[in-house]
Amino acid sequence: MAGQGFAKGLANYGDAEFSLFLRKAFVKGAGYSSAALERPVIGIVETGSAYNPCHGNMPQLVEAVKRGVFMAGGLPMPFPTISIGESFANPTSMYLRNLMAMDTEEMIRAQPMDAVVLIGGCDKTVPAQVMGAASAGVPAIQLVTGPMLTGSHHGERVGACTDCRRYWGRYRAAEIDGPGIDAVNDRLVASVGSCGVMGTASTMACVVEALGLAVPGSATPPAVTADRLRAAELSGLCAVGLARERVTPDRILTPDAFRNALRVLLAIGGSTNGIVHLTAMAGRLGIPIDLATLDRMGRETPVLVDLKPSGQHYMEDFHRAGGLPTLLRELKPLLHLDALTVTGRTLGEEIERAGPAFPQTVVRPFAEPLYPQGGIAVLSGNLAPGGAIIKQSAASPALMEHEGRAVVFDGLEDLAARIDADDLDVAADDVLVLQNIGPTGGPGMPEAGYIPIPKQLARAGVKDMVRISDGRMSGTAAGTIVLHVTPEAAIGGPLAHVRTGDRIRLSVAARRLELLVPEADLAARVAQAPRTRPRAARGYAKLFLESVTQADQGVDFDFLRHVRDEAADAQDGEAAL
């Protein structure tokens, strides 16, 4: 059919028939027959890399997807895009998320395919792929690589990366020596795959399944299991169905689908990064996500999944408990059940197909939650006029209502130079403030919001403090940590003008974050030290710093967000969440 399969998106030679003739000649050079070229073409995005162990099962997943495509009568065409490994990317993987999204979008646009299977797993790869596919408008399915297995250290079950942070904290507090920390380092990551706790990778896996963009039950199978490969096979099979029915991402990624995803994000005690990524993904479709709406949903959506860092279990336990369908059964009264999924069925139909509940201890009943409200609370106040967030399910209850003296660090270099100094003037009830790690200040909004406890306090037994920044925190981390303060310090937000000795008040119950400095004094500080947006001379850094948005718009590039028609918006109130 014209405009489909290998006739789609022809190279420009000034003669369309010649373009198709030439394309077929070259692909036949790879051994394809004319009959093969008549099938629906399914692109498969490969993101394997030696620098990304989270994607270490990529070859097996690609083969399983290809098998599913063949079974359904399609022609699989794997192709590469860049890959981002969380702990391997400098200055931060978030800095490269938009680049990966652009790569994904343009390769989907440039190459002939009737549908695409996006294979990713590490934190920023899944949102990057969804952002790119949503903008490209080609039928798409997300397949996550899956979580790693847990390991064992001296009889204790361990897994990345909550336990990485826990043991490192013990090392900083001199509870473990050098050989001890080296020994646990060998045990924390027992296989390839993404982090085995409810960090950002697992959060995004659950979110894309809740969105309907991944096949049911595919969020939780560990990377090295047969269940993971069967999910890959099913993804390939469903991709052919999407291609034949021409079900584009906008038909699945609707406002109702994003409402479902936000419910799941809250109920799993998901990563705070999930808010930034969902906002960016929705922004590609012109769907605004309002933080006030998120907070309102959070007050009526309890945390039900007992996984680290909010709880005790790991992703492989969640999988044995039935995976996301077990949670969706509990959330059913709060969900939009008529939302479409990649199977062609609705979310409600898929919940019914998953069968009845069975005894398990990982997903709590709705009436017996792990935490009575959603894992994430949205804060506002004179220190965060554009909003800030806190993962309340992973915070210390005693610090949720707190007033303390600010101890300020003006960036990562200052933090590194002074945080462990013996003469640092700091007490356990102080508030640690880190400036200039936002979208432009980082750049890329690094996961440095998990400010370490000063060594002198850690060795005295202090385990948590109130910490505030305009950056992010790994979803695997825990603590009373305020993040995503907007506007960021680097562009002149109030956070830039906090000084050591100021008083700060945090009230999670009232959803407030206040700098207790008279308005006139704060205005004088702003006048004395105005900020200009950071710039770069060339390359991707120049593009990033000139175009990146703030946290409340998903830290996407302004020119990649979907521009909605204002008149249409006025007629369609359902477009907003």
Q: Which of 71, 321, 54, 294 is nearest to 196 (CA)?
A: 54
pLDDT in the model for residue 577: 73
* Of the candidates 235, 218, 236, the residue with the CA atom closest to the CA atom of residue 227: 218
**Tokens 């162990």 belong to which residue?**
53
How does residue 384 score in pLDDT terms, banded at 50, 70 and 90?
Answer: very high
Residue 339 lies in a domain: yes
Q: What's the rounded mean pLDDT across residues 78-94?
A: 96
Q: Is residue 370 part of a domain?
A: no
Say whether pLDDT at 571 is over 70. Answer: no
Q: Is residue 577 part of a domain?
A: no
| Residue 572 pLDDT greater than 90, yes or no | no
- One-letter identity of residue 386: G
Rg, the chain, Cα only: 24
Structure confidence at residue 567 (pLDDT):
46
Residues 307 and 395 in one domain: no
Give the pLDDT mean for 489-509.
98
Asked if 241 and 295 sit in the same domain, the reply is yes
The single residue listed with the structure tokens 């009232």 is: 510
Q: Is residue 28 domain-shared with residue 43, that is, in the same domain? A: no
Asked whether residue 399 is domain-assigned, the answer is: yes
Q: Is the pLDDT of residue 2 over 90?
A: no
The answer to whether 123 touches 86, Cβ cutoff 8 Å, is yes
Average pLDDT, the chain: 95
Domain assignment present for residue 358? The answer is no
Report the percentage of the chain scoring pLDDT > 70.
Answer: 97
Identify whether residues 390 and 514 lie together within a single domain. Answer: yes
Report pLDDT digits (tens) over 408-450.
Answer: 999 999 999 999 999 999 999 999 999 999 999 999 999 999 9
Query: Any alpha helices (H) in 425-547, and if so which ranges?
Result: 455-458, 519-528, 539-547
Measured at the alpha carbon of residue 408, what is the angle toward residues 404 and 413, in degrees to the nearest 5?
Answer: 150
Structure tokens at 147: 């979580």
Summarize pLDDT for 508-526 with one digit per residue, the tens: 999 999 999 999 999 999 9
Give yes or no: residues 49 and 130 share one domain: yes
Task: Reply yes or no on whether the pLDDT at 1 is more than 90.
Answer: no
Q: Report the number of distinct structural domains present in the chain.
A: 4
Asked whether the predicted pLDDT for residue 246 surpasses 60, the reply is yes
First to last CA, the chain: 38
Spatial separation of the C-alpha atoms in residues 192 and 195, rounded to whole Å: 9
Chain center to CA of 43: 23
Q: Give per-residue pLDDT as tens, 193-231.
A: 999 999 999 999 999 999 999 999 999 999 999 999 999
**10 and 129, same domain (yes or no):** no
Q: What tokens appear for 372 in the block?
A: 């009575």
- 458/92 Cα distance (integer angstroms): 26
- What is the per-residue pLDDT for 116? 98
Distance CA 466, CA 219 (A): 33
- Domain extent for 481: 376-528
- Say if residues 455 and 244 touch (Cβ distance below 8 Å): no
Element (DSSP H or E) covering residue 486: strand 481-486
What is the predicted pLDDT for the residue at 564?
65
- Helices assigned H by DSSP within 34-124: 58-71, 93-110
Q: What are phi and psi of 116, to 5 degrees?
A: -140, 140
- pLDDT above 90 for 569: no
Residue bearing tokens 């373009």: 19
Same domain? For 79 and 139 the reply is yes
- Write down the pLDDT at residue 574: 47
Task: Tell me, yes or no, whether 104 lies in a domain.
Answer: yes
Statement to judge: residues 16 and 132 lie in one domain: no
> Does 180 reside within a domain?
yes
Examine the pLDDT at 385 and tell me if it is beyond 90: yes
C-alpha neighbours within 13 Å on the C-beta side of residue 515 = 27
Contact present, 220 and 201 (Cβ < 8 Å): no
d(Cα 159, Cα 140) in Å, to the nearest integer? Answer: 31
| DSSP label at residue 381 | E
Both 142 and 175 in one domain: the answer is no
Pairing relationship of beta strands 41-46 and 75-80 according to DSSP bridges: parallel
> How would DSSP label each residue in 217-235?
T-SSS-TTSHHHHHHHHHH
What pLDDT sits at residue 239?
A: 98
Give 476's pLDDT tier (boundaries 50, 70, 90).
confident
For residues 403 and 318, membership in a common domain is answered with: no
Q: What is the pLDDT of residue 565?
A: 57
The residue from 528, 547, 566 where one domain ends is 528
Domain of 388: which CATH number? Answer: 3.50.30.80
Chain centroid, CA 227 distance in Å:
23
**Does one domain contain both 400 and 507?**
yes
**Has residue 408 been placed in a domain?**
yes
Rounded mean pLDDT, 184-199 = 96
Both 44 and 94 in one domain: the answer is yes
**pTM score:** 0.95
